Amino acid sequence: MADDKVKLTGQRSAIREHIDKYNNFPAEHDKKFALKTIRNCQKQITKLLKRHSGWDKSWEDLWMP
């Protein structure tokens, strides 16, 4: 379970990092790559939260541009 908490924290951190990239990159292909990474992280978060239904959700879990 502690391992999953670390994974959850890491996925949310990656989302925040890629949101910054999405907002700051001028090229559309860079924005698409950042968004793809965000969506992949969100899928991993969904899997983790299904295993641990009592855990709190966060804004990163559902962020969309």
Residue 46 included in any domain:
no
Number of domains in the chain: 1
Residue carrying structure tokens 């860079």: 30
* Whole-number pLDDT of residue 37: 98
Residue 11 included in any domain:
yes
* Whole-number pLDDT of residue 10: 98
* Whole-number pLDDT of residue 64: 96
Residue 14 included in any domain:
yes
CB atoms within 10 A of CB 59: 9
Written as tens digits, the pLDDT of the chain (65 aa) is 679 999 999 999 999 999 999 999 999 999 999 999 999 999 999 999 999 999 999 999 999 99
Q: What is the pTM of this model?
A: 0.91
Q: Name residues whose C-beta falls within 8 Å of residue 52's C-beta, 6 or more positions apart in sequence.
A: 1, 4
Measured CA to CA, the distance from residue 60 to residue 21 in angstroms comes to: 15
Residue 34 included in any domain:
no
Domain coverage including residue 2: 1-25
Residue 65 included in any domain:
no
* Whole-number pLDDT of residue 2: 77
